[in-house]
Structure 1
Amino acid sequence: MPVISVPQAYNEEELYVDLRSLFGHSLFLKCEGFNFAGSIKLKAANGMVEAAEREGVLKPGSILVESSSGNLGVALAIIAANKGYPFLCVTDARCNLSSRLLMEALGSRVHTIVDPDPKTGFLGARLDCVRALCATDDRYVWLSQYTNPENWRAHFRTTAPAIARQFPRLDVLFIGAGTTGTLMGCARFFRRWHRPVRIVAVDSAGSVSFGGPAGRRMIPGLGMSVRPPLLDESYVDEVVRVEEVDTIRACHRLVRHGFLFGGSTGTVVSGAADWLARQNGPRDLTAVAIAPDLGERYLDTIYQTTWLRDVYGEDVLRSATSRP
C-alpha cells in the first residue's frame, strides 16, 4: 500500500493496456497518466525542480516560470504548491481550459499568449515572453524544459527501466515527440540494453522537430514549432508523423471501448498502429507505446462534437464511429 506525504512521490509505473483487440496487432500501452498531475510530465517537472534546488538555483524567494502547452504546467503547479514556490505558467490559446483552471486552483498564475510569432509560432512567442520576464526580475527561475537535461534524465532513470523490467524481450518502442525528453531518455537507456530495441518517434504533422514545413496544430502536447534542443536524431531509428484527424479518430476509437485518453496518447497510438500495420516481417513483435496523458482535459475539444466539426469538418469522426 503506497503511503505518500508529497503528491510528486506517486506515479503508477506498471499499468499497461493490451490493444490487440482494438487494432489487430500486439501493442502494449504504458499508461503514464495515473499520478496527481495526470500526465508523464510530473517526472520531468520533479527532476528539474530537485536539480535546481540541489544546485542552489531555486531557493526560498524564487518564482518559478515556465512555458508549457498544459501538462508540464499542471505538474509544476502541483510541485510549486507543495513546496511553497510561486509559479507563473506562460501558455497559449491552444491550452485546454481545464488545464488553465487547474493551475489557477493550485495557486499558480497563468499568462496566455494569443498571438503567435510569425516565424516560430506560439512556442516562439511564449519563449520570448519568458525571457522578457526573467530580464525584469532576477527572482524568476526558468527551468527551461526544452533545454534542461534533467528532462530526459528523469525518463532514463524511471520510465525506460520500468519498461525494461516488464518487457525484457522488447523489440520496438513508440514514443511521442514534444520537447523530446521522454524520447531521448528512453532512447539513451535502450541503446545500452542487452538486445536491439527499435526506437520509433511519433510526431504531429505540422511539427518541425524532424524537419519539414510548419503547419497548423490545434491539439496541445506533441510537436514543436522550433527544433527541440534536446533532440539527438542519432538515437532515433524511425519517425512517424500523424495527422490531427487521425489523432482524434484514435482517441474516439479508444473511448468507445471505455479508455479515455488524451491527445498525445491518441497521436502515439495512431502512429504505432499505422507502423505495425505496414510491417511485412514477423507479426509477433513485442511492441510498447507510451501513453503520456489521460483524456479528462480534452472533454471540451477532442471529445466535443461541435468543436471537432468547427475545426476539422463534418467527416472527422467518420472512421471512428464503429467498433472494430
Structure 2
Amino acid sequence: MPVIQAPHEINVEDLYVDLAAVCDIPVFLKCESFNFAGSVKLKAAREMVLAAERDGVLTPGSVIVESSSGNLGIALSMIAASRGYGFLCVTDSRCNPASRRQMQSFGAQVLTISRPDRTRGLLGARMDYVQRLVAYDPRYVWLNQYTNPHNWSAHYRTTAPAIAAQFPGLDVLFVGAGTTGTLMGCARWFWEHRRSVTVVAVDSVGSVTFGGPPARRLIPGLGAGVRPPLLDTELVDDVVLVEERETIETCRTMARRGFLFGGSTGTVVGGARRWLAARAGGDRPTAVAIAPDQGDRYLDSVYDPEWVAEHYDAVAGEPPVPPVPAGRLVAGVG
C-alpha cells in the first residue's frame, strides 16, 4: 500500500490504453495523467523544483513564477503549496477556466496576458513579462521550462525507459511537442539506447516549432509561438501536424467509448492515426503514443458544443441529440 507525504511523490507509470479496441488505431496510449497534478507536466515540475532547491536558487520566501498555458502551472502550484513557496502563473486567454481555478485553489496567483507580441505572439509576451518581473523583484524565481534541462531530463530518466521496459519490441513512438521537454527526453534516450525506434513528433497546425507559419491556435498544450530552445531536430525522425478540428474530432471519438482525454492527447492520437494510415499495408508496427492529460480541463472548450460552434466549422463526433418523446411525461413533471 503506497503511503505518501507530498503530492508529487506518486505517479502511475505503467497504465496503457489499447486504442485498437477504442477507435481502431493500432497504438498503445501511455496515460500520464494519473497523479495529483493530472498531467505529464508533474515530472518536469518536480525535477525543476528539486534541482532549484539543491542549487540554492529556491529558498524560504521565494516565489516561483512560470509562463504556462495550464498543465505545468497546475503542477507547479501544487508543488509550491506543498513545499511552502508562493507561485505566480503567467498565462493567456487560451488557458482553460478550470485550470485557472485549480491553480488558485492551491493558493497561486494567475496573471492573464491579453496583448500578443507583434512577432512572437502570446507566448513571447508572457515570457517578456516574466523576464521583467524577475529583473525587478529578486523574490521571484523563474524555473523557465523553455530552457531548463531538467524539463527533458525528467523524461530521459523516467518516461522513456519505462516505455522501453513495457515494449521491448517497440517500433514507433509518438510524442506531442510543446516546450519539447517530453519529446527531447524520450528522443534522446531512444537515440542513445535503442536507435531502431522511430520517434515521431506531433505538433499543432499554426505552431512555429518545426518551421511552419504562425496561425491561430485556441487549444492549449501543444504548439508554440516561439521555437522551443530545447528542441534538437536531429533527434526527431518525423513530424506530423494536426489541425485543431481533428484534435476535437479525435477527443470526441474516444469520449464516445468512455475515455475522456485532453486536447493535447487528442492531437497526439490524431497525428498517430494519420502517420500510421499513410504507411498501411506492411507489417503492423508496435506503436506507443504518450497521452499528456485527461479531458476534465477541456469541458468548457473541446467538449462544449457551443464553444466549438463559435470557433470552428461543423466538427465530426458530436452525437445526435434524440428528440424528447411527445406526450410521454415523467410522473411529477409536466
State the TM-score, normalizing by the size of structure 2.
0.94
Q: Which amino acid aligns with 2:71?
A: N
**Partners in 1 of 2:283 and 2:113 — Cα distance?**
46
For residues 192-223 of structure 1, the C-alpha deviation after alignment (integer angstroms, 9 at most, x for no partner) is: 22451000000000000000210000000000
Contact 1:250–1:320, Cα closer than 8 Å, also in 2: no
Shift of the 97–226 alpha-carbon distance from structure 1 to 2, 3 Å rule, reads same
Matched, 1:110 2:110: yes
CA-CA distance at 1:284 after TM superposition:
2.0
- Residue in 2 that maps onto 1:60: 60
CA-CA distance at 1:23 after TM superposition:
3.7
Map 1:80-229; keep pairs closer than 5 Å.
80-194=80-194, 196-229=196-229
- Residue in 2 that maps onto 1:70: 70
Question: Percent identity at matched positions?
Answer: 63
SS of 1:241 mapped into structure 2: strand
Contact 2:88–2:109, Cα closer than 8 Å, also in 1: yes
**Partners in 1 of 2:25 and 2:245 — Cα distance?**
21
Shift of the 195–206 alpha-carbon distance from structure 1 to 2, 3 Å rule, reads closer
CA-CA distance at 1:319 after TM superposition:
5.2
- Residue in 1 that maps onto 2:42: 42
**Partners in 2 of 1:180 and 1:195 — Cα distance?**
19
Contact 2:65–2:90, Cα closer than 8 Å, also in 1: yes
For residues 67-87 of structure 1, the C-alpha deviation after alignment (integer angstroms, 9 at most, x for no partner) is: 000000000000000000000
CA-CA distance at 1:26 after TM superposition:
1.8
* Backbone CA RMSD of aligned residues: 1.1
Which runs of 5 or more structure 1 residues have no equivalent in the other structure? none
CA-CA distance at 1:138 after TM superposition:
0.9
The number of aligned residues is 320
CA-CA distance at 1:132 after TM superposition:
1.0
Map 1:312-323; keep pairs closer than 5 Å.
312-313=312-313, 315-316=314-315, 318=316, 321=319
Contact 1:253–1:321, Cα closer than 8 Å, also in 2: no
**Partners in 1 of 2:207 and 2:270 — Cα distance?**
16
**Partners in 2 of 1:277 and 1:24 — Cα distance?**
11
SS of 1:115 mapped into structure 2: coil
CA-CA distance at 1:280 after TM superposition:
3.9
Contact 1:23–1:273, Cα closer than 8 Å, also in 2: no
Q: Which amino acid aligns with 2:55?
A: E
**Partners in 1 of 2:94 and 2:278 — Cα distance?**
32
**Partners in 1 of 2:53 and 2:119 — Cα distance?**
35
**Partners in 2 of 1:298 and 1:114 — Cα distance?**
20
- Residue in 1 that maps onto 2:21: 21
Larger radius of gyration: 2
- Residue in 2 that maps onto 1:232: 232
Q: Which amino acid aligns with 1:14?
A: D
State the TM-score, normalizing by the size of structure 1.
0.97
**Partners in 2 of 1:127 and 1:200 — Cα distance?**
28
- Residue in 1 that maps onto 2:326: none
Q: Which amino acid aligns with 2:297?
A: R
**Partners in 1 of 2:290 and 2:318 — Cα distance?**
21
Matched, 1:253 2:229: no
For residues 150-200 of structure 1, the C-alpha deviation after alignment (integer angstroms, 9 at most, x for no partner) is: 000000011111101100110000000000000000001111224510000
SS of 2:193 mapped into structure 1: coil
CA-CA distance at 1:62 after TM superposition:
1.0
Q: Which amino acid aligns with 1:257?
A: R
Q: Which amino acid aligns with 1:77?
A: S
**Partners in 1 of 2:280 and 2:126 — Cα distance?**
43
Contact 1:25–1:277, Cα closer than 8 Å, also in 2: no
Q: Which amino acid aligns with 1:159?
A: T
Which runs of 5 or more structure 2 residues have no equivalent in the other structure? 321-334
